[in-house]
Amino acid sequence: MLQKNATKKMVKAAVLYAINNLIEIKNLSQEEPKNNEVKVKMLSAGICASDYHVIKGETSFPLPIVLGHEGAGIVVDIGENVTSVKKGNKCILSFVPSCGFCYSCRKGLGNVCDTNRLTGTRQFDGTFRLKDDNGNDIHQFAKLGVFAEEIVIPESACFKIEDDFPIDVACLIGCSVTTGVGGVINQENIFPGASIAIFGAGGVGLNAILGGKIINASKIIAVDILDNKLEFAHKFGATHVLNSKEIDPIQKILEITNGIGVDFGFDTFGSQITTNQMMGSIRKGGTGVIIGLAPEGQTANINMVDIVRNHKILLGSYYGPLSPHLTFERIIEFYKSGKLDIDSVIQRKYPLEKINEAYNDLATGKDGRGVIDFSL
């Protein structure tokens, strides 16, 4: 027993105990990394809508939980049998640590690893690494829970980067960039010069615009309900911006494309309204891709006749949609060659203690991405 206690240490973490409540900063006891696990000191963590869905009860997760799934840090300890990283390595963290052995992993879809889905907010062996003062086991969102000073996570979540790679950019590659840019450039039938419409100009939407620039999209039409976000989208390279509160986006997109419709639509927000707008805006034979996660239980009211008669394709795209490490690699190369302006997406930095303020800023529709900077 004594020995077991000796392997634990205290870490500061932001814990959600109940939905629609404030996140609390707590000191938690943390176990050391086990087989194929590492301990990472967090350097940067992103404020993403997926965590906000959990706070609002729109995605059900077991509580109490340390949220946060977009992050980058430095490996400070390794468990047994860890071979791909060592102490001192800086890493992007993948919010889908893939097992490598399940059906999906073997199909090359590490982004939807079955073993990861089954074990959820616990580590791969089904156990927890965090406990609070009252002895409660604390869940880690996506096995990560990056809103903590140090985290114990699977080795396969870590993607090693060069020491001088900017850490806040690395953090964003962990979720919004991979979801948005990857959601565009990794689509099987995407092509240079495609016309695209992007619904939602939040963190993921801006990255989808950047993805559109990478494929040299002929038109990048951004649709949102907030003018400040649309102005920001325009700066990011949207060729047209539409406020769907003021005009019918389907009508306008048809007008912009000479009555044809766009080749690709991307719903980066994830809702019945935006998915319907997207499907109405694509051309015959066009593809609509849902990238944003809608609140749980939400269904889209699809016009089936339109899909059949007009040969439309409706796709879901989760985290890439390839093995996350492959997408990270592609994105890093694009960034290094100056083709991806990820830096400008980052608009605000907060210390961990200001996590509630950070989510409030997300909820009220501030531009770009906010990040927790652990050096503040």
The catalytic site residues sit at 48, 50, 53, 69, 175
Q: Look up residue 323 and give its two tokens.
A: 């093995």
**Residue 181, interface with Zn ion (CB under 5 A)?**
no
Whichever of 175 and 256 has its CB closer to Zn ion, that residue is: 175
- Length of the chain counted residue by residue: 376
Residue carrying the six token digits 């795209």: 317
Which of 173, 176, 186, 240 lies closest to 207, judged by CA?
Answer: 176
Which of 179, 126, 159 lies closest to 345, judged by CA?
Answer: 179
Minimum CB separation from Zn ion for residue 52, in Å? 10
The one among 74, 175, 345, 371 contacting Zn ion by CB under 5 A: 175
Count residues near Zn ion (CB under 5 A): 10
Whichever of 100 and 285 has its CB closer to Zn ion, that residue is: 100
The one among 11, 23, 47, 48 contacting Zn ion by CB under 5 A: 48
Of 6-14, 55-63, 96-104, 120-128: span binding Zn ion (CB under 5 A) = 96-104
Whichever of 33 and 202 has its CB closer to Zn ion, that residue is: 202
Whichever of 189 and 360 has its CB closer to Zn ion, that residue is: 360
Q: Give the separation between CA 48 and CA 36, rounded to whole angstroms.
A: 27
**Residue 327, interface with Zn ion (CB under 5 A)?**
no
Contacting residues for 336 by C-beta, under 8 A, at least 6 apart? none
Eight-state DSSP code of residue 264:
E
The one among 84, 115, 218, 310 contacting Zn ion by CB under 5 A: 115
Cβ neighbour number for residue 304 with a 10 Å cutoff: 8
Residues 187-246 close enough to bind Zn ion by CB under 5 A: none
Contacting residues for 250 by C-beta, under 8 A, at least 6 apart? 277, 280, 281
Amino acid at 85: V
Residue 293 half-sphere exposure toward CB, CA atoms < 13 A: 17
Amino acid at 189: N
Amino acid at 375: S
**Residue 123, interface with Zn ion (CB under 5 A)?**
no
Whichever of 38 and 113 has its CB closer to Zn ion, that residue is: 113
**Residue 99, interface with Zn ion (CB under 5 A)?**
yes
Minimum CB separation from Zn ion for residue 116, in Å? 6
**Residue 54, interface with Zn ion (CB under 5 A)?**
no
**Residue 102, interface with Zn ion (CB under 5 A)?**
yes
In the complex, which residues of this chain contact Zn ion (CB under 5 A)?
48, 50, 70, 98-99, 102, 105, 113, 115, 175
